[in-house]
Amino acid sequence: MTLSTKNILGTRELTKNDIQQILDTADSFKEISTRAIKKVPTLRGKTIINLFFEPSTRTRTSFEIAGKRLSADVINISGATSSAVKGENLIDTARNLEAMNPDILVVRHDCSGAVELLSQFVSSPIINAGDGSHEHPSQALLDLLTIRSHKGNLKGLSVAIVGDINHSRVVRSNIRAMQTMGMKVRVVGPPPLIPVEMKRLGVEVSYNLIETIKDVDVIMVLRVQLERQSQGLLSSLREYSNYFCLTSETLAQARDDVLIIHPGPVNRGIEISLDVMRSPRSLILNQVTNGVAVRMALFYLLLGENNANPN
Ligand code: CP
């Protein structure tokens, strides 16, 4: 089992076979997290560095737990407490970390393209844990795993992605991965939050929530990225939620078997109501659980066949 790529920079580089291998491997790893002793020796002696220049709850913790469940040594570095605050640049930071011989670097950065740039300066495999509004491939893969676990397959499924499309790295990674797997994608939100590139990517664009969610298999709700609204694209949050918040009233217009996912963190009452978050159709916490299995699969597949004993 090998992937066609040495790094996971985005879903654009992943083939259908890559995605299938990652999801199948993740499925086989899920069981480890349910054991009394949640650890296997697969990556004993390997070193993983998590380098996060942006805040994170789910992704950083999930990569750390994934590495530890496979017995790797995991080191977490936050940009705010690294020598970046003394002026060291990103490339020098990464090259210095690489001088300590890690086996994988996991990097989150607020600049789109920063992780791809780093990959040109270090020889260790790199996983993009989210760069600006560009890509968040492990999130898209855990979203696909969650959908596949509930629907049985991915091909032919339709997905409505709702909200702040403009600032979302999750949407860009998901569109590419979903299209690779034969899924149909629509995006819906206020016009200022839907960039023109969406039509070029081959997705349907809509500005009407109810029309868009009526007949889809999955609704993915996105967080309104309050920290990235400096351009004044939104007139008010109240107006946004009047039209685009997924509530039980709007959800009543969707199919009974529709699945609801959200990458988190959630702005309760702005893009999704509390009762919808907690409804049986919501898989939000299931996504978080699946994130550990997906990241275990990524480590396992990137570190290669020398680690072929998953038990
Ligand atoms: N989904 C996601 O990336 O969450 P965090 O920002 O908490 O990692």
* Residues 292-302, mean pLDDT to the nearest whole number: 98
What separation in Å is there between the alpha carbon of 228 and the centre of ligand 1?
15
The whole-angstrom separation of Cα 115 and Cα 12 is 14
pLDDT in tens, 76-120: 999 999 999 999 999 999 999 999 999 999 999 999 999 999 999
| Predicted confidence band of residue 225 (pLDDT cuts 50, 70, 90) | confident
* Nearest CA owner, ligand 1 atom 4: 58
Supply the DSSP symbol for 282: B
The whole-angstrom separation of Cα 291 and Cα 261 is 13
What separation in Å is there between the alpha carbon of 59 and the centre of ligand 1?
5
DSSP output for 80-144: GGSGGGGT--HHHHHHHHHTT--SEEEEEESSTTHHHHHHTT--S-EEEEEETTTB-HHHHHHHH
For 87, other C-beta atoms within 10 Å of its C-beta total 7
What separation in Å is there between the alpha carbon of 53 and the centre of ligand 1?
13
What per-residue confidence (pLDDT) applies to 51?
A: 97
- With a cut of 60, say whether residue 66 has pLDDT above it: yes
The whole-angstrom separation of Cα 264 and Cα 224 is 10
Per-residue tokens: 24:
């199948």
Name the CATH superfamily, with its identifier, for domain 137-285: Aspartate/ornithine carbamoyltransferase (3.40.50.1370)
Question: Would you tell me the crossing angle of helices 137-151 and 16-29 to the nearest 10 degrees?
Answer: 70
Q: Is 174 in the pocket of ligand 1 (CB under 6 A)?
A: no
pLDDT in tens, 19-47: 999 999 999 999 999 999 999 999 999 99
What separation in Å is there between the alpha carbon of 178 and the centre of ligand 1?
20
pTM: 0.95
Q: Is 130 in the pocket of ligand 1 (CB under 6 A)?
A: yes
29-38 exposure pattern, b = at least 16 Cβ within 10 A, e = fewer: bbebeeeeee
Q: Are strands 204-206 and 218-221 parallel, antiparallel or unpaired?
A: unpaired
* Residues 262-271, mean pLDDT to the nearest whole number: 96
Which residues share a beta bridge with 243?
A: none
| Predicted confidence band of residue 306 (pLDDT cuts 50, 70, 90) | low
What per-residue confidence (pLDDT) applies to 139?
A: 98
What per-residue confidence (pLDDT) applies to 262?
A: 98
C-alpha to C-alpha distances, 223 to 120, 163, 236, 262, nearest whole angstrom? 31, 7, 15, 8
Q: What is the overall mean pLDDT for the chain?
A: 94
| Amino acid (one-letter) located at 162 | V
| Predicted confidence band of residue 292 (pLDDT cuts 50, 70, 90) | very high
- With a cut of 60, say whether residue 309 has pLDDT above it: no
Q: Which CATH number fits domain 16-135+288-304: 3.40.50.1370, 3.30.70.20, 3.40.50.2000, 3.40.50.800?
A: 3.40.50.1370
The two domains 16-135+288-304 and 137-285 share their CATH topology (first three levels equal): yes
Contact partners, residue 81, CB within 8 Å, separation at least 6:
none
What per-residue confidence (pLDDT) applies to 308?
A: 44
Supply the DSSP symbol for 197: H
Supply the DSSP symbol for 191: G
- With a cut of 70, say whether residue 229 has pLDDT above it: no
What per-residue confidence (pLDDT) applies to 289?
A: 98
| Predicted confidence band of residue 304 (pLDDT cuts 50, 70, 90) | confident
For ligand 1, what atom is nearest to the CA of residue 59? 8
pLDDT in tens, 175-219: 999 999 999 999 999 999 999 999 899 999 999 999 999 999 999
Q: Is 225 in the pocket of ligand 1 (CB under 6 A)?
A: no
What separation in Å is there between the alpha carbon of 264 and the centre of ligand 1?
6
Q: Are strands 47-52 and 104-109 parallel, antiparallel or unpaired?
A: parallel
Domain boundaries, the chain: 16-135+288-304, 137-285
| Predicted confidence band of residue 230 (pLDDT cuts 50, 70, 90) | low
Q: How many residues in total does the chain contain?
A: 311
* Nearest CA owner, ligand 1 atom 3: 59
